[in-house]
Every structure is written in C-alpha cells, then in structure tokens.
C-alpha cells in the first residue's frame, strides 16, 4: 500500500508538541465503508425516515482513517483532532490523498493490459 509523507504548514498540537510531518496512505474499501456509515444521519423526508450521508463528512472521515501518523502521534485521527488542523494543512492532506488514490486507480487500470493498451 502506497504512502506519502508531507510537511504541514501549521501542524497539529498534541499536548505541548506541535507535530508537522504527516504520513498518509491510500484509502481502502473498509475506510470508505466505515466513513459512509459514520457519516449517515437519519432524516425525515416527507413522512418517511431515510439515512442520508453527507459527502463532506464521508470525505473527511475517509481522510482521517488514511492518516498513518502526524509526527509521532499515530492515526487515525479523531474528527475532533482533524477539525483542529489549519485549513491549509487540511487542504494539503486532502490533495495528497486524492493523488494517492488516483495513482492507485491508474495502477488498477493498467493491470491486465498488454503493451499495446489492449486487455
């Protein structure tokens, strides 16, 4: 599983230490499923109850599971911890997560194809 290490601009303060080096990994199906379950909310639509998942929360809950560590602090982060990040740091983590996942998708797409690009 691919990982990437990035330097955070502001970092995350835990105790007296500000951790600025983050390591994230590719998302797994389990990460996405758990994030979707955690992001569901029961709402009434007309007279019928329905489970609705917030796309924003699904993304954040997936990302926090992808965080291997920030400094010496082991992931995944809690939702409260990720909310304490600087917006720039959160954006950088999201960007790197998307790049990791896009790279994994490219690898999967190439599997089973010969050199001429045919399957």
Residues 6+ apart with CB under 8 A from 81: 12, 14, 64
Confidence class for position 9, pLDDT limits 50, 70, 90: very high
* Apex 38 CA angle, 81 and 88, nearest 5: 35
Query: Is this structure's pTM higher than 0.85?
Result: no
Residue 16's alpha-carbon distances to 9, 12, 19, in angstroms, are 17, 10, 10
For the chain, domain boundaries: 3-103
Per-residue pLDDT reduced to its tens digit, 42-97: 999 999 999 999 999 999 999 999 999 999 999 999 999 999 999 999 999 999 99
């Amino acid at each position: 599983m691919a990982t990437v290490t990035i330097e955070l601009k502001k970092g995350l303060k835990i105790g007296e230490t500000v951790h600025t080096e983050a390591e994230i990994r590719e998302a797994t199906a389990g990460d996405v499923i758990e994030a979707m379950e955690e992001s569901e909310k029961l709402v009434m639509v007309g007279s019928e109850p329905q489970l609705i998942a917030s796309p924003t929360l699904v993304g954040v809950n997936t990302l926090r599971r992808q965080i291997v560590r920030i400094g010496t602090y082991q992931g995944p982060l809690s939702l409260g911890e990720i909310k304490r990040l600087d917006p720039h740091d959160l954006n950088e983590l999201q960007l790197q997560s998307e790049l990791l996942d896009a790279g994994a998708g490219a690898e999967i797409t190439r599997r089973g194809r010969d050199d001429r690009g045919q399957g």
